Amino acid sequence: MTYKTDAQSSGPKSSTGLLDRRRFLRGGVAAGTFVAAAPAFLRQARASSGELNILSWTSEIPPDVVEAFTAKTGIRVNLTPFSSNEELVNKLQATFGEGFDLCMPSFNRAPEFQFLEVLQPLDTNRIKLDAFEPSLLKASTDLWTWDGKLHHIPHVWGSEGMAWRTDMTNITYDTLSYGLLWEAPEYAGKVQMRTTSGLLGLGLWLDASGKLPTNRMLDTYKDEATMRKIYDEILAYAIAHKSRIKQFWDSADATRSGFAENGCVIGETWDGPALAMAKLGQPVAYMAPKEGALAWIDGFSMSGAARNIDQAYAFFDFLLTPETGGKVAIGSHNNSAVKGADAFVPELEKKLFQASYPADALDKLWRYPASPSWFVTARNEYAEKFKVS
C-alpha cells in the first residue's frame, strides 16, 4: 500500500479552467481531432495498469485488507487520505478527478457531487449488489441514482455520539445527552467536539429539551432562510458557552490525542477512534446519546477520470465477501455494509457494539439528509464563526 499526500497534478485550477478543459476533451474526442493529434497520450491515459488509486477516508480501508487484495490480485493500491468531505471535493476539483480511480463520498453529499460532475456511473452488472445489507444499499440507490445510473455503493457505516474517559467520570444511557457538553459543571473546559457536528448536536439537544423546536434539526434543511434563523440561535448559545471546550478535533488522531494527552474528559466524537481506544484497553467508552447518534454511511464512487476500471471492479469483488467485510469492520473500527460480516467479527467487537447502542439507541439514530446545494456552504460559515469567535 502506498500513501500519497497530494493528487498528481500541477496545482489547483479555476472552475472555469476545469470546465473549459472538460469541454475541450469531450469535444476533441467527439470530433476525432484530439485522438489524431495525440494518440500516444490517449493510449497512456486510458490504459489500465496493475494499480488502483483511491481517495480514501483516513481509516476506512485497513492496511491488512489492502495487503490481502494485493497478494491475491497483484494490484497495488495507492491511498490518498482525506478527513472531510470538503477536503475530498477540493482534491477532486483540483484535477477534475485525474489521478484517482475511486473516491469515498458520504452518502448524503449526492446533490453536491451530481452538480460537480466529477464522477462516472458504476456498472451495476459488475458489482454483487446482493452482497450489501439492503437498507444500506437503498441509502445509496435512493440518493445517488441520476440519469438512470448508480454513482455510489456503501462501504461502512458508523455514527457520531458521545465518548468519555471512564476513569474520570461515570455515565449511563439514561443520563447521556449532548447537553452534558454544554451545561454539566464537572465538564467545563474538558470537552472536545468538531465544529460542524458540534453545532448539530447542540441543536438536537435544544430541540429535545424544548428550548429551540426544530423537528430534530430537519427544519434546517427546508430552505436557507429557515436554516439561518435556527443556526443564528444555536451559534449564539455555542459562543456564549465556548469556554467549556478544550479542543476542536478534525481527525481520528486528534480525537484520540484529545483524550490521551490534551485533558479532554468527554466529547462528541466519531465512534471509530473511541472504540479503537477501548479495544486497546484504554479507559474510553462510546455511546449514542438519548437525542440520537448522528449516523453516516461512506462508500465508493468512480472518478470521471478513472483509468484503472477493471482494477476497481476487482477491488469491489474482493471487498464484497463476509470475510473481508469482517476485516474492514475490525481494522476501521466501523460497521461493514456487507451482509454476514458480523460473523467474522470477534466477540469483543460485538460487545462494544451492543454497549454503544443500548436499549432503543438504534431506533433513534439521526441519519443525515441529502444536503441541498446551499446547505454545506452555510453550515460551514456558522462552523467557522464558532471556531474563531
Inter-helix orientation angle 309-319/322-332, to 10°: 90
Taking the CB of residue 183, how many other CB atoms lie within 10 A of it?
14
| pLDDT attached to residue 12 | 31
Please provide the DSSP assignment of 187-216 as one string.
GTT-EEE-HHHHHHHHHHHHHHTTSS--TT
CA–CA dist 383, 262 (Å, integer): 22
Quick one: cell of 356? 454503544
Taking the CB of residue 388, how many other CB atoms lie within 10 A of it?
7
Q: Pick the closest to residue 130 from 120, 122, 119, 138 (CA basis).
A: 138
CA–CA dist 268, 282 (Å, integer): 18
Q: What are phi and psi of 235, to 5 degrees?
A: -60, -40
Taking the CB of residue 216, how many other CB atoms lie within 10 A of it?
15
| pLDDT attached to residue 19 | 37
| pLDDT attached to residue 1 | 59
Does the pTM exceed 0.85?
A: no
| pLDDT attached to residue 28 | 35
CA–CA dist 7, 93 (Å, integer): 10
Could you list the mean pLDDT of each consecutive 10-residue stretch along the chain, which spans 389 residues?
Answer: 41 34 34 34 46 94 97 97 93 94 96 95 98 95 97 97 98 97 98 98 98 98 98 98 97 96 98 95 98 97 97 98 97 95 95 95 94 93 97
Domains in the chain and their CATH numbers? 2-151+297-351 (3.40.190.10), 158-293+357-388 (3.40.190.10)
Inter-helix orientation angle 271-279/347-356, to 10°: 130
| pLDDT attached to residue 373 | 85
| pLDDT attached to residue 160 | 97
| pLDDT attached to residue 2 | 55
